[in-house]
Structure formats: C-alpha cells, structure tokens
Amino acid sequence: MIERYTLPEMGAIWTDEARMQAWLDVEIAAVKAWNKLGRIPDDAVAEIEAKAAFDVARVNEIEATTNHDVIAFLTNVAEYVGDASKYVHYGMTSSDMLDTALALQIKRAGLLLERDLVALGEVLQRRAFEFRDAVEVGRTHGIHAEPITFGMKLGIWAFEVSRHLKRMRMVTINAGVGKMSGAVGAYNNIDPRVEDLVCEELGLGREPISNQVVQRDRHAAFLACIAIVGSSIEKFATEVRHLQRTEVREAEEAFGKGQKGSSAMPHKRNPILSERMAGCARVLRGNAMVGMENVALWHERDISHSSAERIVLPDSTILLDYMLQKFTKLVDNLVVDEERMLANLNQSYRLVFSGSVLLALVDKGMLREDAYRVVQDSAMHAWREGVDFGMLIKQNDEAMAVMSPEELDAAMDPDQYRAGRDVIFARLEKLEF
C-alpha cells in the first residue's frame, strides 16, 4: 500500500521486519515444543532463544542466490545461532512457518480493524442521538417520500457497523489459525503435539486437517469481510456526497482552516473525503476477488496464492484501517444544517403526508381505492401548481365529507411519528460495541 493511505500502527504489522519476526516467533515456538516432547535438549533451546536473530538486508542478499525466501531466512538465522541451528525448522516445511506466521499478522491486523469499527460505531451512535429530532425528508428513488430524522439515518449506519464488528471478529478467528503438519499435512515428519503446543503458545487456532497449507477459504472470508465493510463505508459516504450537493446542502464535510476546494474556483467546498472512500472501496472489492481466486490450489498445494497474498492482505487491511479512521473523523466533525433540512422538507408542499392522509380517510370509512384517488389527485395538483397539499384536501368535497379539518391537521402533524421514533431510539440505546 502506498504511504499516503498507510497509518503507522497497521503499516507496522506488514513490514519485512515484522513478517520475519513472526517467522522467528513460530520457529522458536516449535523449538520449545520439541523440547517439551524431549526431542531437543535444554541447552540448545537456551542457545537458540538467546542468539536467534535475522537481518532483512542479509536475508534478501542470500535470497538473491537461493531464490527461496524461507531458506534464505533460515540460513541467516543459522549465522546468528551457530551449531544449535540444526534444531531450527526441525521436521517442518516452509508453509508450517509461513502460514502460522501469517495467522499472527492477520490476527493483529484484525484486532486493529475491530478497534476501528468500535470507534466508528460509537461515534455514529452518539451523533444519532444528537440528531434524533432533526427532522428531514426521507427520499426513495431520490424523490421526497415521508419525514424521518437525521438521527435515524445515522442509527441505521451504527447498526450496520455493529454487524460488521461481529463479522470481523469471526473471520479474524477463522483466519488466525496455524498448522505444523509437514509437507502434505500428514504429520509424516512432525509430531501432531508440536502443532498443538505451537498454536497454544502463539494464541492461534489450529487447522484440524491441512494439506501443505492452511486452507484459503479462511483468508478469502477475511478479505470478503473487509470488502463488505468498505462497501458500507462507500454507502455512507455516498449519502454524505448527496447531502452536500448545492441543491440539498443538509450536511457537509468539515472544511478546515486553510483548506482549498479547487485550483480554479475559490468558492468550492467539495466532499473530497467521501469521494476518496468510494474509490478506496473499489480496491477492497477487487482484492476480495483475489482472495476467492486463491482458494483453488493444485492437489496438496501450489504457490499461486503466495504472490497475490503478499499484496492483497497487507493492502486490504491497511486501506480499510485508513478508511475507518478517516470516516470516523468525518462523521465526528460532520456539519449538519437542521434549518436546511426543514426548508427542503417544505419544498414539496406537505406532500410527504399523503400516506397518513390516505390512512386517515380509510379509517373514516372511505374505500382505499377512492381514498387513494382523492389523495393522488390533490397531490398531483399541489405539485403542478406549487400549492399546499393540505389546503387542497380541505377543498375536496369527498375528503371533507368523511373528515373534519381538525382531523386532517392531525393527520399532517409531524409529531404523529414520534412514537415510532421512540421505539427506534430505544433499540439504538441498547446497542453495544
């Protein structure tokens, strides 16, 4: 991932130094496991733990000759350890180390993403309650529908983030598994107890039956979850982009002191961060497809997955971490114009109450088809002529034959929806991250 979208804590998980340190952690855990089983002497374990180290530049230098990164790494470790290095990688195949170490990185990255999701969810929940009574028009197909509140919109997003948090925890657990089962997964040259001991020490799950690799459906699910989270961020950001349009102007990204919106037009205040979220989400979805392509390997394994994983796993976790933190800040600082929301609501001449008027007429005994005709005729007249819908209903003889003006006013009172909102926010209040 390019530096522009890499935040320090997540980026540190995927450096060459961190990757090789995870390799070394796995190798030392395996040495200690063999020692517990009586196959490696105590003095060798002590020597390995005291001396084992690596140098990334030296590993790369050796790999230029071996054309095998694991052998290059083990050769470099042996240069530090000396004679006891004969016990390093004992009974193991490369993927025992690689996949178990990768699980460590995935687990660490997943925990950071979980933290990010919690932060976003809490901000959404807090701001939802801040705007629980900020009435705005609900839109379907981009057209005025019925009144909602801006807090309801943010509450929907909060619940969506809570679902993502549950998914992220599950896929991180499922991808955070190791294996120490040898070249084809049959434990031909390694004791199954080593696998149990290594995974326990490293805090990982264990692949119950492996071939040479941890099965890649686990990684595909992890990447798919990341892509789905990214799609939700794009969904939220798309709404912000719409609300910031000049013709709408109900909410907008905060505009910092000294910020510039356009090189040519000094007046511009653009939803640049929301648009960036949309672009980044496309990358995550593409990377998820790579994860799915990596599931099908030849026989007990090939390495067609390896090159692609080196790109998409770091890139996806780094990019989603960036997106979550940036969008959390966006929501936290989002500028909301409640007066503009009411002004937009009133642009449609109170047509947003057509549904409640329809039901009020039905409750008074009018057939639904007749009530629908009466309401629709008045609504179309209001829209064409730019006059108040309620006034036209009061002028309709069929409607007024069954309903009083006071009853009509009650059917067009925004407070009639408060009971429903109370139920919604009671649910949101129980939401925990």
Question: Distance of CA 28 to CAs 32, 47, 55, 70, 84, Å?
Answer: 6, 11, 16, 15, 12
3-state secondary structure of 178: strand
- The DSSP string of 132-163 is TT-EEEEEETTEEEEEEEHHHHHHHHHHHHHH
Check: CB of residue 213 under 8 Å from CB of residue 179: yes
Q: Which of 85, 95, 262, 274 is catalytic?
A: 262
The closest of 86, 74, 77, 87 to 32, measured between CA atoms, is 87
Check: CB of residue 90 under 8 Å from CB of residue 30: yes
Both tokens of 34, joined, read 């063999």
- The DSSP string of 21-79 is HHHHHHHHHHHHHHHHTTSS-HHHHHHHHHH----HHHHHHHHHHH--HHHHHHHHHHH
**Helix axis angle, 94-130 to 16-36, nearest 10°:** 120
Neighbours of 72 (CB within 10 A): 20
H/E stretch holding 315 reads helix 304-333
262 included as an active-site residue: yes
**Cα–Cα distance measured from residue 11 to residue 146, given in angstroms and rounded to the nearest whole number:** 45
Q: Which of 85, 89, 95, 141 is catalytic?
A: 141
**Cα–Cα distance measured from residue 112 to residue 117, given in angstroms and rounded to the nearest whole number:** 9
Both tokens of 269, joined, read 């205040």
Who contacts 164 (Cβ-Cβ below 8 Å, separation ≥6)? 117, 225, 228, 229, 232
Both tokens of 343, joined, read 């002004």
Both tokens of 154, joined, read 């943010």
Q: H helices within 148-303, ranges in order?
A: 150-175, 192-202, 217-243, 272-293
Both tokens of 350, joined, read 């109170």
Active-site residue list: 141, 262
